[in-house]
Structure 1
Amino acid sequence: MDLKKHIGIALAYFLAVALMGILLRFYFVVSLPFNFKFLLHAHSHTALLGWIYLGLTTLIYKIFLSEAQKPKLYKRIFIFTNVCIVGMMITFPFQGYALFSIIFSTLFLFASYWFSWFAMNHIPAHFKTRFSWKLIKASLWYLVLSSIGPWTIGGVMATLGPESIWYKTSIYFYLHFQYNGWFILALLGVVFYVFEEKGIQFNPQKLKSFFLLLNFGVLFTVFLSVLWFVPPTVFYVLGLIGAVAQCLAFFELFLLLKDHFPVLKKVFTPRAFFLLKIAGGLVLVKLLMQLFSAFPYIANLAFLLKDFVIGYLHLVFLGIVITTMLAFLQYFKLILLPKSFISIFLVAFVTTEFLIFYKAFAVWLGLPFFQDYYICLAVLSCLFPVAVGILFFKNLKSRSS
């Protein structure tokens, strides 16, 4: 099984996502002949379900399932998944949520169920008692749980319409369990696998406490996703409890791992370890943003100023999930990480995040807002496809040579 080829396909989606992002940025600068909302759907679906999903499932297969000796079955799942992704990439830009895009996104849900079933049923016996697999298994259940969101969207649009509060709630429910559940727990599972392979043992009681707090936090922070329509006070309280639980979970994680950071520094390349340090720092920022968003004033502010939400989501996906995933892909020798890619990618990430958050703070606090903001944001965003292009073509060249 040529898993490097599979990651090459995932990187192609990453490049497509970056190029779509450029078009979305320039939409506010020059007149462009496409529907912004339709392309935004294609951009987000390809990012989450093309690039990140394939990256994580390939890692899970490489680490836990390659011993299962089921390469033909995995290949069938992989091909079916890619048919769904390409279908969404082609249909969303032209029709948004309509017949064919809904067919392909529905089929993708079945592809994700198929992979989850495959992983849980064919995991080799010696992995079943590992804490790393416990996290991966939980992440796959969150992947399945997140699909409730897309399943309800069709019914909501048909009965209540896209302006209904249930339409946005369905989307936020899906996003929440994707990044807080599926993405984050899968990456944590890989972290613990690395430590397990190095023979490091942790206190079972502390692992249990961390796992319970983490899952409690994931389940209860879903209430933060509905605060935008000002629900009863109990929703704010439950969301705050979830945010505190997540803070405590990651504090426990820090206590568990702090004495073993030198191991990570030793086994990861300097570039990969640098990406992990960035992701670790941004996890703290994410946790604080979640905690503050449980308070009515901040929750309302985030709803009124969409740039706070856009900045937060980009921080999670680009700054935490993708950087960590890239470090792991290099660790397992599935990609090369060129220095030029890391430099350009981080410049693009830092500068665009600064501009996105600056606009939100400028509107909120009445700060001066410069005239060429959208031009600056669009031009700096051009660095993303440059960086991803370097990553894609360097890896393509290494495979062919």
Structure 2
Amino acid sequence: MKGKSYRSHLQMAMTYFLVAAILGLLLRFYPILGLDFNYRFVVHGHSHIALLGWVYVALTTLLHFCFLEKKKSSRTYKRIFWFTQATLIGMLLTFPFQGYALFSIVFSTLFLIVSYVYVYHFWKNIDLKYKHSKGLKCAKAALIYMMISSLGPWALGAIMNSLGPQSIWYRLAIYFYLHFQYNGWMILAVVGIFLFVWEQHGLEIPKKSFTHFFLSFNLGIVFTFFLSTLWTKPPFGFYTLAGFGAMAQLYAFACLWGMIKNQFFELSLTKLQTLLIKLVVAMGLIKIVLQLLTVLPYFSTMAAKYLDFTIGYLHLTFLGVISMALFFFMDYFEMFRISTKSFPWYFVGFILTEALIFYKGIAAWQGWGIFEGQGKLMAWATLLIPIGIAIMLIKNRALT
């Protein structure tokens, strides 16, 4: 597959990101302007297009570019790609208007099936020169977690029919899906692509250190799922397992940092690429600290009671760690340029909205009350994010 195809696929992924950001903006202005739409339906559309349109399309494109034998897999990959787009457009045209209903469920089910086809295609077409790549090992594990995460949506239908949407199992199925999407599939795929970049520069990844990292990271992924169950006030053993998972992820983070810190300068990155990597590392560390906090019963109860903390954490992971890592890769591989004129719009919007979301949660927790105009400020701050993404798209259109 030619470089131009990769660029067009990543532009499509960024277009989905813009659409998801605009839907998020509509949700922010909903109470202010009295907009006439079903709020919950648009939330479904926003989350599906963000996760499956932006991140999934970007990651699968980058994984194909990095690890697969291009000539042999090109035609089949294009068919998989365009079938995936058909399911995404179907979800975009159904979820915001009908929520979970017949056609939206059909399209989301077809998406799951074609994602399995992608995994099979990936496994069958790995370029043999990368068969011992440590980055590939992470990428393969990430794809396994992606399939594991899909057990959540499959279970939802049965839970709704038998126990109903008010059951704790309904919420747990959603948390299962989100956990293994964010912490398993997305972050491990990002690490895999970064290690690919590292290996392409001929930089060393000590076998022992990598083994410690890989084992502890995977244990962390599995056991931190128990963090998503603590709102049910389970037996003490669940807190212990969740704590073990959070500590394992912290140790894995330390192992990864130990592997790269002395040779990082050899990557010869631009100032913006260096900034992006530093931001991803900083926000990844904040994410891990928040996980450690929620192991404590007081904080796990607080996170469940005040939804803004959960939303802020999810946005930190999605808009911060994952999206900025993708910005780095797209710019590094010169397939989609992130400019110093477009990124500040996105970053300032991200920082302001995170601060306001967490402030709202803290205010509710401490009983402070919300300051006048907080909702309007949140909405206008959110506007900066789609503006930044739109500028990125316009500048890249000009380059092609």
TM-score bracket for the superposition, by shorter chain length = over 0.9
Q: Which amino acid aligns with 1:79?
A: W
- CA distance in 1 between counterparts of 2:112 and 2:239 reads 31
Within a 5 Å distance, the mapping from 1:91-102 to structure 2 comes to: 91-102=94-105
**Equivalent position of 2:356 in the other structure:** 355
- CA distance in 1 between counterparts of 2:302 and 2:331 reads 39
SS, match of residue 338 in structure 2: coil
Are 1:106 and 2:106 an aligned pair? no
**Equivalent position of 2:395 in the other structure:** 394
1:235 to 233, 238, 257: 238
Are 1:39 and 2:42 an aligned pair? yes
Within a 5 Å distance, the mapping from 1:1-400 to structure 2 comes to: 1=1, 2-67=5-70, 69-264=72-267, 266=268, 268-399=269-400
TM-score (norm 1): 0.97
Report if aligned partners of 2:69, 2:127 keep a CA contact under 8 Å in 1. no
- CA distance in 1 between counterparts of 2:321 and 2:69 reads 26
Query: Deviation of residue 272 (structure 1)?
Result: 1.7
Identity %: 43
- CA distance in 2 between counterparts of 1:156 and 1:25 reads 31
- CA distance in 1 between counterparts of 2:251 and 2:20 reads 34
Query: Deviation of residue 53 (structure 1)?
Result: 0.5
- CA deviation string 1:265-311 (max 9, x = no partner): x1x22112211111110111000000111111111100110000000
Distance 1:68 1:230, change over 3 A: farther
- CA deviation string 1:308-356 (max 9, x = no partner): 0000000001111000111101111110112121111111011111000
- CA distance in 2 between counterparts of 1:221 and 1:28 reads 35
TM-score (norm 2): 0.98
- CA distance in 2 between counterparts of 1:20 and 1:190 reads 29
- CA distance in 1 between counterparts of 2:187 and 2:314 reads 13
Report if aligned partners of 2:69, 2:126 keep a CA contact under 8 Å in 1. no
Q: Which amino acid aligns with 1:397?
A: A
SS, match of residue 204 in structure 2: coil
Query: Deviation of residue 110 (structure 1)?
Result: 0.7
Query: How many correspondences in the alignment?
Result: 397
Q: What RMSD, in angstroms, separates the aligned Cα atoms of the two structures?
A: 1.0
- CA distance in 2 between counterparts of 1:106 and 1:46 reads 14
Unpaired segments ≥5 residues, structure 1: none
Query: Deviation of residue 380 (structure 1)?
Result: 1.0
SS, match of residue 339 in structure 1: coil
Moved over 3 A (4+): none
Query: Deviation of residue 203 (structure 1)?
Result: 1.6
Query: Deviation of residue 68 (structure 1)?
Result: 5.0
Unpaired segments ≥5 residues, structure 2: none
- CA deviation string 1:196-246 (max 9, x = no partner): 111112221111111000000000001111111111211111111100100
- CA deviation string 1:45-76 (max 9, x = no partner): 00000001011001011111143522110000
Worse-matched range after superposition: 181-190 or 225-234: 225-234
Query: Deviation of residue 369 (structure 1)?
Result: 2.2
- CA distance in 2 between counterparts of 1:210 and 1:349 reads 30
- CA distance in 1 between counterparts of 2:204 and 2:262 reads 12
Query: Deviation of residue 106 (structure 1)?
Result: 0.6
- CA distance in 1 between counterparts of 2:330 and 2:130 reads 20
Q: Which amino acid aligns with 1:46?
A: I
